[in-house]
């Protein structure tokens, strides 16, 4: 697929005031400690909608995460930490209102609710605000992201 030949979709906007935790099997109940009801519902729905659109979650692809900080030092500390953990394309940059954004990528989508919860906790523990994730839909016939295959070291 040509990088210019894509469509951007927002899959799951959830009303935070009305959201409740989805029914989860006991082994996934820990996710309630990592998310608000709206955040968990949005993450689960997004992956379900991607699968509905043909996504094969085991495919190699970039899952880009976004975090915001009010401190340059904290932003760079997180960027260094996630890079050391195997995340790729790690970048801390200044943005509006004296804030710093940190972008970094993991390499797969399976268990996204678990891994986004882990990343969210890392960001919050570092003093930041987790702003979400994005990923392309990877269908059966789409080629794997070869850069992920070459550079990814195992962080989810």
In a domain, residue 82? The reply is yes
For residue 103, is it within any domain? yes
**What's the token pair of residue 111?**
């268990």
Q: Which helix (H) or strand (E) holds 116?
A: helix 112-125
Give 29's contacts (C-beta < 8 A, 6+ positions apart).
none
Residue 8 within a domain: no
Residue 89 is assigned to a structural domain of this protein = yes
Domains in the chain, number: 1
Q: Residue 80: inside a domain, yes or no?
A: yes
Q: Is residue 21 part of a domain?
A: no
Which residues constitute the domain of residue 82?
Answer: 27-151
Asked if the structure places residue 13 within a domain, the reply is: no
Residue 137 in any domain: the answer is: yes
Q: At what angle do helices 112-125 and 37-52 cross, to 10 degrees?
A: 140
Identify the CATH number of the domain in which residue 127 sits: 3.30.70.970
Q: List average pLDDT for each run of 10 residues in the chain, which is 156 residues long.
A: 52 68 84 85 86 87 93 96 90 95 84 86 95 89 71 49
Strand order in the sheet with 129-134: 88-95, 99-106, 63-69, 129-134
């Amino acid at each position: 697929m040509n990088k210019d030949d894509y469509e951007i979709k927002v899959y799951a906007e959830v009303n935070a005031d009305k959201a409740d935790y989805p029914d989860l099997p006991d082994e996934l109940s820990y996710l309630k400690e990592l998310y608000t009801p709206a955040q968990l519902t949005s993450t689960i729905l997004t992956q379900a909608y991607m699968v509905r659109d043909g996504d094969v979650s085991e495919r190699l692809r970039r899952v880009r995460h976004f975090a915001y900080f009010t401190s340059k030092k904290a932003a760079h500390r997180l960027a260094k930490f996630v890079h050391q953990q195997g995340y790729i394309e790690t970048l801390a940059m200044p943005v509006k209102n004296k804030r710093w954004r940190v972008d970094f990528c993991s390499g797969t989508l399976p268990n996204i609710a678990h891994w986004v919860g882990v990343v969210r906790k890392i960001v919050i523990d570092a003093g930041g605000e987790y702003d979400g994730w994005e990923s392309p839909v990877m269908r059966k016939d789409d080629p794997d992201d070869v850069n992920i295959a070459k550079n990814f070291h195992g962080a989810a």
